[in-house]
Amino acid sequence: MPKLELEWNGSKFAVTSTLLPRKLWQAASIDVFLDGKCLLRTGGVFKLTGSHSAEFEHKGIHHQVTLSWGHASFRSFPIKVEVDGTTLHEGHVVSGNWPLSLWPWLALGGVISHMAWRL
């Protein structure tokens, strides 16, 4: 799965994005990890844009991580990762299973094709 890796205070942050199928739509879970430990998971909330925050402890000090995301593009999401109010990264994270985003278009194409053949 593609992931965005970032260095911070001698540790590695990783940000991943996974599309989640729902009944009539799709959502994405954007997750933030520090040295392999999950700090924040959006869980596929039904919001086009938004942000989530979480507190964590690193080397005995408490910190806050904030993840903000914008409107999705074809394969990725624009994100901003902040730790204690300082921007760690502002860019895009690619969804690991982005081909899943094609199924609504394939279904629509199938319906249109079926209707065209019936005429």
| Range 20-24 average pLDDT | 69
Domains in the chain: ranges and CATH:
3-118 (2.40.128.180)
Answer whether residue 110 shows pLDDT above 90: no
pLDDT computed for residue 50 by the predictor: 85
What residues are paired with 79 via a beta bridge?
Answer: 69, 91
Backbone angles phi, psi at 113, to 5 degrees: -65, -45
pLDDT computed for residue 6 by the predictor: 87
| Range 65-89 average pLDDT | 89
Backbone angles phi, psi at 41, to 5 degrees: -135, 120
pLDDT computed for residue 85 by the predictor: 94
With bands split at pLDDT 50, 70 and 90, how would you rate the model's confidence at 104?
A: low
* Helical segments of the chain, H only: 103-118
Q: DSSP readout, 83-102?
A: ETTEEEEEEEEEBTTGGGGG
With bands split at pLDDT 50, 70 and 90, how would you rate the model's confidence at 17?
A: confident
* pLDDT digit string, tens, across residues 27-73: 778 899 999 999 998 877 777 788 999 999 999 999 999 999 988 77
Distances (CA, A) of 73 to 31, 32, 34, 69, 76: 18, 20, 26, 11, 5
Query: Over pLDDT 70: what percentage of the chain?
Result: 86
| Range 82-97 average pLDDT | 88
pTM: 0.75
